[in-house]
Amino acid sequence: MLIQDRNLFEGMSPEFMRRVAQCSIGESRSTGDLLFRYGDPAHHLYVLVEGRIRLSFGQAGYMSFVISNSGDAVGLSSILGREVYHASAECLVPCRLQKIDKEDLMRIFAEDPMSGLQFFRRLANLFGQQLVDTYRLIPAAHGEKHAAPGG
């Protein structure tokens, strides 16, 4: 399984990774393929192995990010208790992914709470870093040349 040493799953126990591997499916997608649309039922977490994915947020998709690092996860709504996705995910180039069913992953977390805690701590760190990165963009959006230090 390719996601063992990647971001959210880095350093997890071999047994935990074996169980995740059993419930994940490798997928290849073409340029222009949609993994999910805003409002679709949130059933899967996707881990990027190779490629680039555009996440467009909200129904109108005015704000978007490009995901291109191997190990980045999309479809986080699925594991955060959301019924539907709050973004759309489109492959910008051919992509290879690992698709993980949310119910299977949540069952593994329930049976191995320490690994679940570690996973969600990493997820909180990821969200924190994304928030800081977004804060850094705000001054530029308003025409300021430099963000305030120490943000």
- Name the residue ranges covered by the structural domains of the chain: 7-139
pTM of this prediction? 0.79
Is the pLDDT reported for residue 4 higher than 50?
no
pLDDT at 3: 47
Looking at this protein, which amino acid is placed at residue 95?
C
3-state secondary structure at position 25: strand
Rounded to a whole number of angstroms, the distance between the first and last alpha carbons of the chain is 38
Q: What percent of the chain has pLDDT over 90?
A: 39
What number is the average pLDDT over the span 25-40?
96
Q: What is the pLDDT of residue 41?
A: 96
What are the tens digits of pLDDT across the range 116-142?
A: 888 888 888 777 776 777 777 677 666
Half-sphere exposure of residue 47: CA atoms within 13 angstroms, side-chain side: 25
Distance of CA 123 to the CA centre of its chain: 9
* Residue 65 vs residue 19, higher pLDDT: 19
Residue 67: Cβ within 10 Å count = 17
Summarised one tens digit per residue, pLDDT across range 76-103 is 889 888 999 999 999 999 999 999 999 9
d(C-alpha 140, C-alpha 151), whole Å: 14
CATH 2.60.40.10 is held by the domain 7-139 = no
Residue among 119, 116, 109, 97 nearest 36 (CA): 97
* Range from 42-56, 63-77, 96-110 carrying the lowest mean pLDDT: 63-77
